[in-house]
Amino acid sequence: MLYLIKYRLLSLMREKNIVYWSILFPIILGTLFYVSFYNISDDMEMIQVAMVDGDTSEKDMFERYLGEVEKDDSEIISIKVMAEKEAMDKLENGDVKGIFYSGDRPRLKVAGNSIESSILQSVYDAYNSEAYVYKDVAEKEPQKLEEILKSSYISGSEETMLTGKKVDGMIQYFFSLIAMECMFGGFIGFQMSSQLQPNVSPVGARRTVTPTHKVKQLAADTIVGFGVQYLSYTILIVYLNNVLKVELGSFSGKIMLIGFAGSLIGVSIGMIVGCISKLTESMKIGILITFGLFSSFLSGLMVGGIKGTIEQYCPIVNRINPSSLISDALYSISVYDDPARYQNDIIILLGMSLVLCMTAFFMTRRESYDSI
């Protein structure tokens, strides 16, 4: 048996296809993600705003307020004072995102709904609400005005995860990447089942005529295939965690258990595809690639919000799509700390793997050939 395992391992590691899809491709894509999302939030450009001068005393107060906002550490807006016509032209052309008017009644003009105009609206609302309170108090309780003018601004909220952890919003892309890595373990399963069938590959034909029992061959293939896939999963996790410093959570047994279930489902999907002997090799590879990509796409590889849309319209997809289950399990331990959800995901993945492995076994057993 050890002899079989050794040579299956050597044979598998010499397959460029396997090494590429299982190890190199996820690392290349992970690096690409890292470059794409690097400093994505820190690089936000300042919003360009025009200020049209009014002619009354109140303009000073509004202008001073905007000046404070402009000087703020977060560097949200950059204000330039200009004449109304110039400001309108710039707003029309998109060179500025809004115009603040100082005067008796400060105003804000924006060109439409956008994130920038929403932020300008928040700045404008904050000023107006404060001014409204001061005016109201000045009219009704003038003796208290001085006191409330001295009061400092309170920031009454903080962003937390329910578990108390802070999580980068871009982490979901890396979870889907890990799921995709497991799905591309299908190439190993495909290779294994192809090399067990005499009508599919010459290696399969040679192995079939040997006196070694098929169950022994299958066991050796499964151990090696699964082992290689699990190793490539570990390499990816170590690369993301230690080289790219993506915070996947602690490098725990739970993450490794997800790798176990994910590797198993990936390899077994490949075995099933490899067992369909009527298809050409290019068709089978095409199926593995498109299935791996599409399944990972549905778990959020290309669009972060897709899982939410699926949950709204067709939640069953999130319960049976292997990539979604893998990324869900990673969410459960890294973001939500939800052991019940994690267990569910792992059980479904293992159950599906078992069914697929059994199906692959029944598809290949007791086949007899008159001529190959």
Partner 1 sequence: MTVFKGYMLIIKKKIGVIFMYFAIFTAIAVLTQYTYTHEEQKNFTNVSRIIGVADMDNSELSKGLIRYLSAVHEINKMPADTGKLQESLYYYRNDIIIQIPKGFEKSLSGDIKKLKITRQPGSYNYMYISSQTDRFLNMVKKYCMAGYNINDSVKKVCDYKGEQVELISSNNDGGIPNIAYLFRYFVYLSISVLCYVLGMILVVFRKREIKNRIGASAVSDRRQAAEAVGAFLIVGTALWALFIIIGIALYRDEFFHVKHLEYYFINSYMMMLVSLALAFLIGMIIEKENIVNMIVTPLALGMCFLGGVFVPLNVAGNFSKKLGHFLPSYWYEVVNDRIAEFKILDSESMSIVWSGIGMQALFVIAFIGAALAVMKYKKQER
Give the residue with the Cβ less far from partner 1, 44 or 358.
44
Q: Which member of 9, 37, 244, 247 binds partner 1 (CB under 8 A)?
A: 37
Give the residue with the Cβ less far from partner 1, 239 or 294.
294
Q: Report in angstroms how near the CB of residue 300 gets to partner 1 at its nearest.
A: 8
Is 48 a binder of partner 1 (CB under 8 A)?
Answer: no
Give the residue with the Cβ less far from partner 1, 9 or 170.
170
Which three-class secondary structure state does DSSP give residue 50? strand
Residues 259-318 that bind partner 1 (CB under 8 A): 281-283, 285-287, 289-290, 293-294, 297, 302-309, 311-312, 315
Report how far residue 340's alpha carbon sits from residue 219's, in angstroms, rounded to the nearest whole number: 32
Give the residue with the Cβ less far from partner 1, 31 or 361.
31
Give the residue with the Cβ less far from partner 1, 28 or 320.
28
Is 139 a binder of partner 1 (CB under 8 A)?
Answer: no
Q: Report in angstroms how near the CB of residue 362 gets to partner 1 at its nearest.
A: 26
Q: Report in angstroms how near the CB of residue 5 gets to partner 1 at its nearest.
A: 26
Which pair of tokens denotes residue 348? 């479904």
How many residues of this chain interact with partner 1, rule: CB under 8 A? 102
Positive or negative, the CA dihedral 256, 262, 268, 271 is negative
Is 132 a binder of partner 1 (CB under 8 A)?
Answer: yes
For residues 101 and 52, is the Cβ–Cβ distance under 8 A? yes
For residue 183, the tally of other CB atoms under 10 A from its CB is 27
Residues 63-102 that bind partner 1 (CB under 8 A): 88, 91-94
Residues 5-24 that bind partner 1 (CB under 8 A): 17, 20-21
Is 190 a binder of partner 1 (CB under 8 A)?
Answer: no
Report how far residue 97's alpha carbon sits from residue 292's, in angstroms, rounded to the nearest whole number: 42
Report how far residue 114's alpha carbon sits from residue 341's, in angstroms, rounded to the nearest whole number: 36
Give the residue with the Cβ less far from partner 1, 40 or 358.
40
Task: Convert residues 147-186 into a mask of x (bound to partner 1 by CB under 8 A) and - (unbound).
Answer: xx--x-xxxxxxxxxxx---x-xxxx--------------
Nearest to residue 342, comparing CAs of 227, 232, 253? 253
Residue with tokens 């000073």, as numbered in its chain = 60
Report how far residue 41's alpha carbon sits from residue 172's, in angstroms, rounded to the nearest whole number: 15
Q: Which member of 9, 61, 69, 108 binds partner 1 (CB under 8 A)?
A: 108
Distances in Å between the alpha carbon of 237 and those of 27, 169, 177, 211? 10, 18, 10, 40
Report how far residue 264's alpha carbon sits from residue 275's, in angstroms, rounded to the nearest whole number: 17
Report how far residue 354's alpha carbon sits from residue 273's, in angstroms, rounded to the nearest whole number: 15
Is 341 a binder of partner 1 (CB under 8 A)?
Answer: yes
Report how far residue 208's alpha carbon sits from residue 3's, in angstroms, rounded to the nearest whole number: 17
